[in-house]
């Protein structure tokens, strides 16, 4: 400003800037700062302000004590006017009491200046040029400080005892080759600094072979950069953008291609000219010359082309007519350009021409004759021109008379009656002579309902544009054709059309990025991640110069082979990651041409003995930033690209300030991992790209690693390695571990096969903004070491990690992984192989995660929070998370084989229950990211709403599921499911269940506030059926599936439970079948009992509900038959009676656990035993934490079954009916239970039965004796909920239509009376006469269209009346039939049922209830029920009825 003091003005040059700090009384201070150091500026301003404050306080003190001002001009008025202009030196001289302040200020000023000096500019460094000798062993020590200024080759470098090596930042690249670099005690290696990043190009090349004769270091090994105890390593390369996202989709084969297209028709007569730049393909100018209308236009054309500069390109066409007034001057001018046809241009002749002015040999030209108004003619010229680097453009000129076509109206002259539907062209000409052309170009046919002919499945006799369309009834399986209509494509009169297009082609592409490409220069290498199921679709590119690119664009060499998404797809962020591989500082391993002398050569053809960087405990400082690591890591333990080994706390907790970090690294083409953290805490790993690595990429090793942060890290193309069982693929697992212990046979999918991008051995680590963009197995895997192993042994108590709360897991993403995006499950075996457990050390085993406060299971539970996790295109799972409690919020799952599975926290009884939930999240089944066609028919097939081709996760018929319900309990709330569409043969569903499940299902699986978007109502849920992937559906968990539809947002029945349709332990008479889901909608109160059986433990159990004795549930047990006990886990309806039976003699020991029983909940159970059995029965409480069991009561025998109801906690009663072989107990809970616990607050309540069974007893199956003695009439204890009215359903066309059909007779003494009715949405239609009654519904709206009765007399004879009636119904009608009286069970009329979808040759009985469909397909909900006394159907139908496409 104008008032700037003179000293400020003198020093305000290019290297300095001023800041003014004003105080009303004191004016201003000038502070001179270096431009480059913002931290310095802030410190100076802070200290200046403090000094001003000190000065002001002292001035007030002086004034109050009557002291004279230090300077006569320092009056308040002058202060206020800013007249006091004191420099820091003047303040020092005039206010001696300010000396302390100024001294401190001076210290602050000096310190940043010292730090800001670049390492290679520090005084006292000695230039060092060691030359080139692989025999030169270099030791830098005893206070020697050297500056490497040029390339060098040495055997090794050791820096210790005060030695210091600094790399000079020069304009020339430096290559330093050594077998190893060891930074020992009090040694230092500096390459740039945090404030002064290294700007040159430096390569540290580590050479040597694994079989070298040199003695290897006992700790670091060979071929390394090692930081020992007391060492300092500071490497700081240039700041570059580490990775970002594509912001525009990159299509395969798509390069940096732009196109220009110019097109004209009527109203633009004459000759059209374009002038084009030969270097860029840019259109510089264009004009039109109407040489039909005026000779002046012809002369203007000649002058125009004469004025074009030599070397420029001319592209010319005739539109409509251009010859009428064409003069010789124009003809000669064009001939001079190289034209051979222009001089004979005739009336309406098409003509096209491309040439380079001044080069007649370059001309290309075409000419055609006008063919009249009903025939097309065309002149086309094409010429390619080379432009910049790897680019060319093509000019295309077209002049034509084009004939267009249009479809006629639809014609329906005939129908299907008679021999069939005949729509012959000749007949149509006669009927509609003015509305149809003589020679059509094409034909289309469809049903009157708009279904294309090729979608009906019918056979056509003729389907030809010149003949017409014929469908014969005799050719159809159902004996009759649909009624079809046809239309024809007819040509129109020709019209003129001229076009000039310029298409730019190149062997390069433009990447549109989400962030500015800071520091990405020509020559840098990039990798673009896959956005499909295969991680191998990641592609590398080289950056090219691009003067025209914006800051968010880069030009790269080559075109993509694969599709890489750059946008949100169906609400999910599927943008491909783009990672930088190049850095100006490179540390690399020098490699041999092929693999040699290593066990790894069984699996790899290339040399895997790369370099490595390792940091030892007790280092003084390590900060690594802006470095590229390539060909690093070794297929041997402890040798990784970047390895922090047993360092303890490396942040402020360990006295490191600034904390240790590795940032802005590019680690690629590595032979063992990317970044390894072993026994180290508090390390910051930020902006690191790991690409094409063997074994786990970002790796925490033994379990004690905590508080480490992985922030904005990217890992992709992570492949199997040999080091650990979890690193290995199936082949490695078998070859390495088979026979490792006598008798051991590897099971790769259980023991190995866990290669992961992020391998987290302790949950107390932070993952923020990270991406796992492709591994052979999993993106993020949280694994548990029950005890730490190796050097970490004893660092925490057994089981601690299983209870440790999770660190921050926010905004991470995983895709293109073969197994899963994320797994939270499993542990590693922490004992050596032995006779009891032959699996190798560190093999995968089971483990359960249950986080608690302070990792103490006796303290409150703490949820593991997963926020905004995105998982897409993972072949198996988006996420498999086992534990209590795991909470997900705002997550996205798309295109995964299975979106999400939440598994319970443990194996009962050690599991205390869990509260797992997913809220506010999005699930997408088959998105618009369709992938690319592959030659593998197993993973390419139809899908999505339009059934178009796409890549598929597991196989063409794999049942894709959004939320997979396993055991539970879980809570799914406020989630959206989008684009889950089942096909015939592929049971895709929004909600599904774990396949081949032997484990339990929990009735407390709650679902609420669900939104379905582009999900057919038939695809919302699928409970499974025997077939591919589901197998026989005979495992216990397959039979007991259940969940609670809290608000009816899934089933339209709020509060209902959805159960498997054939689980009669849970059904009651008012349950409603949902055939498309293989489910039933029921009501009730449900819980579970776990029945543990011993002596023997290999039995099959049959459980029967007394209300449905004809429908037993058979269970084989959740555990292997060789186990010492077996566990059966049925879900039961509370307040009901059951019996239990065995396929052999009953077990001598039974323990019945009450699971999810609230206080006073009960059931009655009769266990089958052989006659002569004696019993001891007690009740107890089991504490899962202390593993202690406390007896609470005994059961006494009673001869009165009713007395069982008087059971108390300390005394109960059992009833032994020896005649039937049933031991009856009332199983009741006596204690309160927390909401999300399996057992009561006091422990798990159990009843233990010890039986002394007579030897030689046969199977304990009492079914024949028990029923009908103990059979009960089915009763509905909890009324069914009302169906939501249409007004409360989402604004979608689909809904459920509830129907009920019943045919039955009643008896009152000797009087027998028949009844039959059909009910639609609560409205009953009664059948009045004997015979059958037909009710017809519209298949689109569900409205009743007609009802009609047919007496038995009609059914007994020739059934023409009922046949004609059914034939007259329109297609896609729902046909419901009930019977009354004594039904005619045989005869031709039954073929009507077959036509409506019933099985062939069905055997009828007196009572019939049938729901059928008239149409070209058979829906899943077609049902037939027959019985002598009562036949009934109660189900929902999806509205409208939609045909499911078959694979």
pLDDT digits (tens, 9 = 90+) for 1148-1157: 999 999 999 9
Per-residue pLDDT reduced to its tens digit, 469-506: 999 999 998 899 999 999 999 988 899 999 999 998 88
Higher-scoring residue by pLDDT: 31, 1038 = 1038
Res. 389: pLDDT tops 90: no
Q: What confidence score (pLDDT) does residue 1235 get? A: 81
Q: How far is CA 390 from CA 504, 544, 550, 552, 922, in A?
A: 11, 10, 20, 22, 43
Q: Among 74-83, 416-425, 490-499, name the one with the lowest average pLDDT.
A: 74-83
Res 553 pLDDT > 90? yes
Let me know: does 767 contact 780? Beta carbons within 8 Å: yes
Phi–psi pair at 10, nearest 5 degrees = -65, -30
**What pLDDT, on the 0 to 100 scale, is given for residue 1138?**
98
CA distances from 1080 to 110, 773, 1070, 1433 (A): 80, 41, 10, 12
**DSSP 8-state code for residue 534:** -
Q: Which residue has the higher pLDDT, 818 or 39?
A: 818
What is the predicted pLDDT for the residue at 798? Answer: 95
Each residue of 872-894: pLDDT tens digit? 999 999 999 998 889 999 999 99
Residue 17 predicted with pLDDT over 70: no
pLDDT > 60? residue 527? yes
Is the CB of residue 43 less than 8 Å from the CB of residue 108? yes
Question: What distance in Å separates the CA atoms of residue 948 and residue 942, rounded to the nearest whole number?
Answer: 5
Average pLDDT of the chain? 90
Residue with tokens 């302790």, as numbered in its chain = 762
Task: Report pLDDT for 821.
Answer: 98
pLDDT at 386: 87
Q: For residue 909, what are its two tokens?
A: 């009884």
Which of 477-481, 526-530, 910-914 has the weakest average pLDDT? 910-914
Percentage of the residues of the chain whose pLDDT score is greater than 90? 81
pLDDT at 909: 65
| Average pLDDT score over residue span 578-595 | 98
Min mean pLDDT across 109-118, 188-197, 775-784 is at: 109-118
pLDDT band at residue 53 using 50, 70 and 90 as cut-offs? very low
pLDDT reported for residue 94: 43
**92-106, 534-548, 756-770, 1276-1290: range with lowest mean pLDDT:** 92-106
What is the pLDDT, as a whole number, of residue 1342?
A: 95
Closest CA to 926 of 911, 938, 912, 942: 942
Structure-block tokens of residue 1411:
């729901």
The better pLDDT of the pair 777, 1308 is held by 777
User: How do 886-889 and 621-630 pair as beta strands?
Assistant: unpaired
* CA pair distance 1357, 1354, nearest whole angstrom: 6
pLDDT computed for residue 3 by the predictor: 42
CA–CA distance, 278 with 1017 (Å, rounded to integer): 59
Is the pLDDT at 813 greater than 70? The verdict is: yes
Q: Distance between CA 1225 and CA 1247 in Å, rounded?
A: 9
Comparing CA positions, the residue from 493, 492, 497 lying closest to residue 406 is 492
Which among 488, 499, 491 has a CA at the least distance from the CA of 376? Answer: 491
Mean pLDDT, to the nearest integer, of 1174-1192?
92
Vertex 772: Cα angle to 767 and 774 (nearest 5): 165
**Which residue's structure tokens are 């706390």?**
649
The pLDDT-based confidence of 82 (bands split at 50, 70, 90) is very low
**Does position 976 have pLDDT exceeding 60, yes or no?**
yes
Whether the predicted pLDDT of 116 surpasses 70:
no
pLDDT tens column, 1200-1227: 999 998 878 889 999 999 999 999 999 9
Note the pLDDT of residue 528: 98
- For the chain, the first-to-last Cα distance in angstroms comes to 79
Q: Tokens for 1111, please give them.
A: 């429908």
Indicate if the pLDDT at residue 995 is higher than 50: yes
Residue 85 confidence (pLDDT) above 70 = no
pLDDT of residue 918: 98
Chain segment 319-350, per-residue pLDDT in tens: 999 999 999 999 999 999 999 999 999 999 99
Q: What is the pLDDT confidence band of residue 110, given thresholds at 50, 70 and 90?
A: very low
* Rounded Cα distance, 1365 and 1359, in Å: 10
pLDDT band at 1310 (very low <50, low <70, confident <90, very high): low
Cα separation, 1058 vs 1081, whole angstroms: 5
Label the pairing between strands 709-711 and 684-686. Answer: parallel
pLDDT over 70 (residue 49): no
**584-594: average pLDDT:** 98
Residues 775 and 777: their CA atoms lie apart, in Å, by 5
**598-631 per-position pLDDT tens digit:** 889 999 999 999 999 999 999 999 999 999 999 9
pLDDT of residue 27: 37
Please check the confidence at residue 1003 and state whether its pLDDT lies above 90. yes
Residues in CB range of 592: below 8 A, 6 or more apart: 209, 607, 609
| Helix (H) or strand (E) run with residue 429 in it | helix 425-431
- pLDDT band per the 50, 70, 90 thresholds, residue 713: very high
User: What pLDDT was estimated at residue 23?
Assistant: 35
Could you give the percent of the chain with pLDDT greater than 70?
91
DSSP tally for the chain: helices H, then strands E: 16, 94
pLDDT band at 1311 (very low <50, low <70, confident <90, very high): low
Beta strand residue intervals within 217-290, DSSP E: 224-227, 232-236, 243-245, 259-264, 270-276, 283-289
Task: Look at residue 1238 in the predicted model and tell me its pLDDT.
Answer: 87
Q: What is the mean pLDDT of residues 949-971?
A: 95
- Residue 62 pLDDT exceeds 50: no
Say what the pLDDT of residue 106 is: 45
> In this model, does residue 67 exceed pLDDT 50?
no
User: Which range has the worst mean pLDDT, 4-8, 707-711, 789-793?
Assistant: 4-8
- Asked whether residue 43 carries a pLDDT value surpassing 60, the answer given is no
Check pLDDT > 90 for residue 695.
yes
| 69-83, 725-739, 1066-1080, 1222-1236: the lowest-pLDDT one | 69-83
């Amino acid at each position: 400003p104008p008032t700037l003091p003179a000293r400020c003005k003198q020093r305000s040059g290019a290297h300095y800037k001023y800041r003014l700090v004003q105080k009303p009384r004191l004016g201003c201070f000038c502070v001179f700062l270096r431009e480059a150091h913002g931290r310095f500026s802030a410190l100076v301003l802070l200290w200046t302000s403090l000094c001003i404050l000190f000065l002001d306080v002292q001035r007030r003190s002086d004034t109050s004590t009557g002291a004279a001002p230090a300077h006569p001009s320092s009056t308040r008025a002058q202060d206020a006017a800013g007249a006091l202009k004191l420099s820091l030196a003047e303040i020092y001289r005039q206010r001696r009491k300010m000396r302390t302040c100024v001294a401190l200020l001076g210290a602050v000023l000096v310190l940043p200046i010292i730090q800001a000096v670049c390492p290679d500019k520090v005084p006292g460094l000695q230039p060092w040029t060691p030359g080139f000798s692989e025999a030169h062993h270099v030791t830098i020590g005893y206070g020697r400080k050297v500056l490497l200024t040029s390339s060098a080759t040495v055997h090794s470098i050791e820096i210790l005892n005060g030695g210091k090596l600094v790399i000079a930042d020069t304009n020339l690249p430096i290559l330093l080759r050594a077998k190893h670099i060891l930074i020992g005690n009090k040694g230092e290696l500096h390459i740039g600094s945090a404030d002064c990043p290294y700007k040159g190009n430096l390569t540290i090349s580590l050479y040597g072979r694994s079989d070298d004769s040199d003695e290897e270091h006992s700790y670091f090994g060979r071929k390394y950069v090692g930081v020992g105890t007391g060492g300092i390593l500071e490497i700081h390369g240039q700041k570059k953008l580490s990775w970002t996202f594509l912001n525009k989709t990159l299509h395969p084969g798509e390069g940096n291609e732009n196109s220009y297209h110019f097109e004209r028709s009527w109203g633009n007569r004459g000759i059209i000219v374009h002038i084009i730049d030969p270097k860029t393909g840019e259109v510089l100018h264009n004009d039109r010359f109407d040489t039909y209308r005026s000779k002046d236009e012809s002369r203007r054309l000649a002058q125009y082309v004469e004025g074009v500069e030599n070397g420029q390109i001319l592209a010319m066409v005739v539109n409509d007519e251009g010859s009428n007034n064409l003069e010789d001057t124009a003809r000669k001018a064009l001939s001079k350009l190289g034209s051979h046809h222009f001089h004979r241009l005739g009336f309406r002749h098409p003509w096209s021409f491309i040439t380079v002015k001044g080069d007649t040999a370059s001309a290309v030209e075409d000419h055609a004759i006008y063919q009249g108004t009903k025939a097309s003619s065309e002149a086309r010229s094409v010429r390619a021109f080379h432009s910049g680097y790897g680019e060319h453009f093509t000019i295309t000129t077209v002049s034509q008379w084009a004939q267009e076509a249009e479809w006629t109206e639809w014609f329906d002259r005939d129908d299907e009656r008679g021999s069939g539907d005949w729509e012959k062209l000749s007949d149509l000409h006669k009927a509609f002579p003015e509305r149809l052309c003589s020679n059509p170009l094409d034909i289309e046919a469809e049903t009157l309902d708009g279904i294309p002919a090729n979608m009906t499945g019918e056979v056509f006799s003729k389907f030809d544009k010149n003949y017409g369309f014929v469908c014969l009834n005799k050719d159809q399986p159902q004996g009759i054709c649909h009624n079809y209509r046809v239309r024809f494509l007819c040509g129109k009169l020709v019209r003129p059309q001229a076009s000039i297009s310029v298409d730019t082609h190149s062997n390069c592409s433009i990447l549109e990025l989400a962030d500015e490409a800071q520091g990405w220069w020509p020559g840098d290498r990039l990798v673009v991640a896959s956005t499909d199921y295969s991680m191998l679709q990641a592609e590398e590119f080289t950056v090219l110069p691009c003067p025209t690119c914006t800051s968010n664009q880069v030009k790269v060499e080559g075109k993509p082979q694969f599709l890489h998404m750059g946008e949100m797809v169906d609400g999910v962020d599927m943008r491909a990651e783009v990672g930088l591989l190049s850095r100006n500082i490179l540390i690399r391993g020098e490699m041999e041409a092929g693999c040699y002398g290593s066990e790894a050569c069984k699996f790899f053809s290339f040399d895997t003995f790369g370099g490595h960087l390792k940091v030892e405990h007790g280092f003084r400082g390590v900060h690594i930033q802006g470095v590229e690591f390539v060909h690093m890591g070794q297929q041997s333990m402890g040798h990784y690209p970047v390895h922090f080994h047993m360092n303890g706390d490396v942040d402020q907790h360990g006295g490191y300030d600034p904390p240790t970090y590795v940032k802005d690294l590019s680690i690629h083409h590595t032979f063992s991992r990317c970044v390894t953290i072993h026994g180290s805490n508090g390390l910051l790993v930020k902006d690191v790209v790991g690409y094409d690595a063997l074994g786990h990429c970002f790796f925490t090793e033994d379990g004690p690693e905590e508080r480490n942060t992985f922030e904005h890290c990217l890992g992709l193309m992570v492949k199997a390695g040999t080091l650990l069982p979890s690193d290995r693929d199936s082949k490695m697992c078998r070859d390495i571990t088979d026979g490792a212990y006598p008798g051991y046979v590897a099971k790769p999918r259980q023991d190995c096969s866990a290669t992961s991008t992020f391998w987290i051995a302790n949950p107390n680590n932070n993952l923020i903004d990270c991406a796992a963009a492709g591994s052979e197995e999993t993106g993020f895997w949280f694994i548990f070491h029950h005890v730490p192993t190796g050097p970490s042994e004893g660092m925490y108590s057994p089981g601690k990690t299983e209870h440790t709360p999770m660190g921050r897991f926010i905004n991470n993403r995983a895709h293109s992984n073969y197994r899963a995006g994320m797994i939270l499950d499993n542990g590693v075996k922490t004992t050596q192989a032995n006779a009891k457990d032959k699996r190798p050390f560190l093999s995968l085993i089971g483990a359960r995660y249950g986080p608690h406060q302070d990792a103490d299971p006796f303290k409150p539970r703490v949820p593991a929070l997963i926020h905004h996790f995105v998982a897409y295109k993972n072949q198996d799972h988006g996420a498999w998370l086992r534990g209590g409690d795991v909470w997900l919020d705002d997550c996205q799952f798309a295109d995964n084989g299975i979106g999400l599975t939440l598994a319970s926290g443990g194996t009962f009884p050690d599991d205390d229950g869990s509260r797992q939930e997913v809220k506010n999240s999005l699930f997408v089944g088959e998105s618009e990211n369709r992938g690319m066609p592959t030659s593998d028919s197993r993973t390419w097939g139809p899908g999505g709403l339009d059934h178009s081709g796409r890549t598929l996760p597991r196989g063409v018929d794999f049942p894709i599921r959004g939320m997979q319900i396993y055991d539970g309990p879980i809570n799914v709330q406020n989630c959206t499911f989008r684009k889950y569409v089942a096909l015939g043969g592929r049971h895709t569903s929004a909600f599904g269940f774990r396949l081949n499940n032997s484990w339990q299902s929990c009735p407390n699986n709650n679902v609420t506030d669900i939104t379905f978007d582009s999900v057919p109502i038939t695809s919302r849920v699928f409970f499974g059926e025997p077939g591919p992937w589901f197998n026989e559906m005979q495992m216990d968990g397959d039979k007991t599936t259940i969940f609670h539809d809290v608000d009816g947002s899934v089933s339209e029945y709020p509060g209902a439970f959805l159960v498997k349709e054939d689980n009669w332990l849970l059904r009651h008479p008012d349950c409603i079948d949902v055939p498309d889901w293989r489910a039933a909608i029921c009501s009730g109160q449900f819980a579970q009992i776990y029945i543990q059986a011993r002596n023997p433990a290999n039995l099959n159990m049959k459980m029967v509900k007394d209300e449905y004795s004809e429908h037993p549930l058979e269970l084989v047990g959740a555990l292997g038959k060789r186990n010492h006990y077996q566990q059966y886990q049925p879900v039961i309806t509370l307040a009901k009676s059951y019996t239990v039976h065995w396929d052999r003699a009953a077990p001598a020991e039974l323990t019945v656990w009450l699971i999810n029983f609230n206080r006073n909940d009960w059931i009655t159970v009769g266990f089958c035993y052989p006659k002569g059995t004696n019993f001891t029965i007690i009740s107890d409480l089991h504490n899962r934490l202390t593993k202690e069991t406390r007896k609470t009561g005994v059961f006494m025998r009673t001869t009165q079954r009713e007395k069982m109801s008087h059971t108390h906690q300390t005394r109960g009663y059992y009833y032994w009916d020896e005649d039937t072989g049933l031991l009856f107990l009332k199983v009741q809970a006596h204690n309160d239970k927390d909401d999300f616990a399996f057992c009561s607050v006091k422990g798990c309540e159990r009843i233990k039965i010890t039986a002394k069974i007579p030897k030689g007893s046969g199977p304990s199956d009492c079914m024949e004796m028990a029923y009908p003695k103990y059979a009960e009439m089915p009763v509905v204890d909890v009324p069914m909920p009302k169906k939501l009215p249409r007004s409360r359903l989402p604004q979608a066309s689909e809904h459920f239509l509830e129907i009920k059909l019943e045919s039955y007779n009643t008896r009152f003494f000797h009087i027998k009376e028949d009844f039959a009715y059909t009910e639609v949405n609560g409205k009953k239609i009664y059948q009045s006469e004997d015979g059958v009654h037909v009710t017809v519904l519209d298949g689109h709206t569900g409205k009743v269209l007609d009802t009609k009765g047919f007496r038995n007399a009609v059914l007994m004879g020739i059934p023409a009346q009922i046949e004609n009636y059914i034939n007259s119904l329109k297609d896609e009608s729902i046909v419901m039939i009930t019977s009354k009286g004594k039904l005619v069970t045989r005869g031709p009329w039954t073929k009507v049922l077959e036509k409506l979808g019933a099985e062939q040759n069905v055997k009828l009985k007196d009572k019939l209830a049938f729901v059928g469909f008239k149409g070209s397909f058979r829906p899943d909900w077609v049902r037939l029920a027959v019985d002598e006394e009562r036949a009934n159907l109660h189900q929902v139908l999806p509205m409208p009825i939609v045909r499911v496409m078959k694979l």
